[in-house]
Structure 1
Amino acid sequence: MTVVLALVGSLRADSTNRKIAELAQQIAPEGTEVRIAEGLGDVPFYNEDLDGEQAPASAVHLREQVAAADALLLVTPEYNGGLPAVLKNAIDWASRPYGQGSITGKPVAALGAAIGRFGGVWAHEDSLKSVRIAGGAAHEAPAGSFKSTEWTGSGHPQEQAEVVEAVTATLAKLVDEANQSVAA
């Protein structure tokens, strides 16, 4: 079983990006489980003074979720031209201790939807840059950036062919990369 952990960059209960992560759970390839990281809003901003043996339970739980995953899927909107603080914070906590963090060596992809002009591409690029610096094996380009204001019908991600195709392709690539790193 390959485990892909989705880190959702929006904390809103009815978030389009959370719906994309839920879509990933529904369409995951056979032998793959997509889990959505819970509790990101409870993790305090990274502060080295809080880290170590007495790290906050919410940060320890995040690190455990990342460590238990074979790959990460960042599903995020764009806030003011960049990645949401909650996602950057999750990457920061998962990167520690430096060089040995739970994110180290994991395949990572970013996708998601935003109402902005570019559909979140800047947030996806920023998040992947942070992941690379943190030691993760990030894709070179965002897997899918969608302008949710242009969606048809009810606007649900599962009704958008381009979203379903991008999530399917992204999961297939992440699973393949995770399996290759296990075999190596």
Structure 2
Amino acid sequence: MKKIGFFVGSLRKDSYSKKVAESFARLLPDGYQAVFVELGELPLYNQDYDDFGPVPESYQKFRGEVKQLDGVVFVTPEYNRSVPAVLKNALDVGSRPFGKSVWDKLPGLVVTVSPGAIGGFGANHHLRQSLVFLNVPTLQQPEAYVGHITDSIAEDGTIVPGTEQFFQTILDSYLAFLEKLTK
């Protein structure tokens, strides 16, 4: 069973990004397990912890969880045309200490979510830029910008069928990409 880590870039209880990530997780076929990795408990990255200790237990737990994954899915809103701090911090915590990044070679998918029209374009591209440096090969096509998310959520909080089919198309492409890279 391959483990796919889901990293949600919003801490809000009723986050649209969380709802989208949960929808993607439900669409995973047999043979894949969704693992939601908590980001909100990580203190801001400080290299002194790694250099001089003590390393926070939350850093150790987070790094250990990511090391167990076969792939990573980032679902995030856009804050000020960029990546939310909680997600950037998680990237930093996982990338250190130098030379021991837990992200290295994990196949990735970037999904950005916004109530606006451009679907988190800025966050999507900033995140991809960081992932290139972290050596996370990322699905290039189809791109996953989810604009007007409020129109895609039913009254019961689920994703409407047309949008869910779009998610399935993206997920199928990502899983084919992951399988190609993890043979």
Normalising by structure 2, report the TM-score.
Answer: 0.88
Work out the CA distance in 2 between the residues paired with 1:168 and 1:55. 39
Go from structure 1 to structure 2 and tell me whether the alpha carbon gap of 1:174 and 1:60 turns closer, same or farther (over 3 Å shift).
farther
Show structure 1 runs of 5+ residues with no match: none
Q: Distance in 1 between matches of 2:129 and 2:156?
A: 29
- 1:26 deviation in Å? 1.3
Q: Shift of residue 99 of structure 1? A: 3.9
In percent, how many aligned pairs have the same letter? 29
After TM superposition, the structure 1 stretch with the greater mean CA deviation from structure 2, 169-178 or 56-65, is: 169-178
The Cα offsets for residues 108-165 of structure 1, whole Å up to 9 and x where unpaired, read as 1111321234121211111111111112112336423322244364384521522x13
Distance 2:41 2:80 in 1: 22
Rounded Cα–Cα distance in structure 2 between residues aligned with 1:107 and 1:94: 15
Secondary structure of 2:62's counterpart equals helix
Aligned alpha-carbon RMSD (Å): 2.1
Counterpart for residue 94 of structure 1: 94
What is the aligned partner in structure 2 of residue 121 from structure 1? Answer: 121
Give 1:80's aligned amino acid. Answer: N
Contact kept? 2:117, 2:147, Cα under 8 Å = no
For residues 90-115 of structure 1, give each alpha carbon's deviation from its aligned partner in whole angstroms, at most 9, with x where no partner exists: 11111123343110001111113212
The aligned residue for residue 145 of structure 1 is 146
**Change in CA separation of 1:49 and 1:29 when aligned onto 2, cut-off 3 Å:** same
Q: Which residue of 1 aligns with 2:155?
A: 154
What is the identity, as a one-letter code, of the residue corresponding to 1:115? P
TM-score (norm 1): 0.87
Quote the residue 1:56 is aligned against: 56
Give 1:170 deviation, angstroms.
3.1
Which amino acid letter does the alignment assign opposite residue 51 of structure 1?
A: D
1:167 deviates by: 2.7
Contiguous gaps of at least 5 residues in structure 2: none
Matched residue, 2:41: 42
| Structure 2: distance between partners of 1:131 and 1:107 | 10
2:174 counterpart letter in structure 1: L
Confirm or deny: 8 A CA contact 1:27 1:168 kept in the other structure. Answer: yes
Give, in whole Å, the separation in 2 of the partners of 1:70 and 1:91: 16
The amino acid of 2:118's aligned partner reads: F
Structure 1 residues 176 and 99: alpha-carbon distance in aligned structure 2, compared to 1, 3 A threshold: farther
What does residue 111 of structure 2 align with?
111
Matches within 5 A, 1:65-76: 65-76=65-76
Q: Provide the aligned length of Structure 1 versus Structure 2.
A: 181
- Deviating more after overlay: 113-122 vs 60-69: 113-122
Query: Does the CA-based 8 Å contact 1:70-1:106 persist in structure 2?
Result: yes
